[in-house]
């Protein structure tokens, strides 16, 4: 992470190093959108219903490891919303996550 990528704490607006710059640790929260694949879920659950137990169906190969959800913001350049929090806010202060997400989205525009 470059110094130009750093941002103030999204909750308190202060330095991410905490009060008086004492703590070098901070938190980075990343959010993205995920989409479920109902057809794949239905296909896999049908196999589980056939034998009566998901674990048994998986052991028999009736349920495979195909993904049932796709994260739109993959690491290779997808759309992630990033929020930085100082250690004090992350551990000690109440956080309204929805408010922080809305604020970050507004700043991104």
Give mean pLDDT, residues 31-36.
86
Q: Which residue has the higher pLDDT, 48 or 8?
A: 8
φ and ψ at 16, to 5 degrees?
Answer: -75, -10
- SS3 for 7? coil
pTM of the model: 0.64
Please give the tally of structural domains in the chain. 2
Contact between 12 and 91 under an 8 Å Cβ cutoff? The reply is no
For residue 36, what are its two tokens? 């479920």
Domain identity same for 89 and 103? yes
Domain identity same for 42 and 62? yes
- pLDDT tens by residue, 71-93: 876 666 567 888 999 988 888 99
Domain identity same for 52 and 65? yes
φ and ψ at 38, to 5 degrees?
Answer: -60, -35
Question: Domain span at residue 61?
Answer: 34-71
Q: Which residue has the higher pLDDT, 20 or 70?
A: 70
Contact between 66 and 44 under an 8 Å Cβ cutoff? The reply is yes
For residue 52, what are its two tokens? 């009566």
Contact between 61 and 5 under an 8 Å Cβ cutoff? The reply is no
Q: Which residue has the higher pLDDT, 42 or 63?
A: 42
pLDDT value at residue 95: 92
């Amino acid at each position: 992470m470059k110094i130009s990528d750093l941002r103030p704490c999204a909750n308190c607006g202060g330095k991410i190093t905490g009060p008086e710059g004492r703590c070098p640790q901070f938190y980075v929260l990343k959010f993205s959108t995920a989409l479920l694949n109902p057809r794949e879920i239905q296909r896999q659950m049908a196999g589980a219903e056939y034998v009566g137990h998901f674990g048994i169906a998986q052991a028999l190969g009736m349920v495979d490891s195909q993904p049932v959800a796709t994260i739109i913001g993959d690491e290779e350049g997808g759309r992630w919303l990033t929020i930085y929090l100082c250690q004090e806010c992350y551990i000690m202060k109440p956080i309204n996550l929805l408010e922080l997400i809305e604020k970050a989205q507004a700043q991104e525009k």
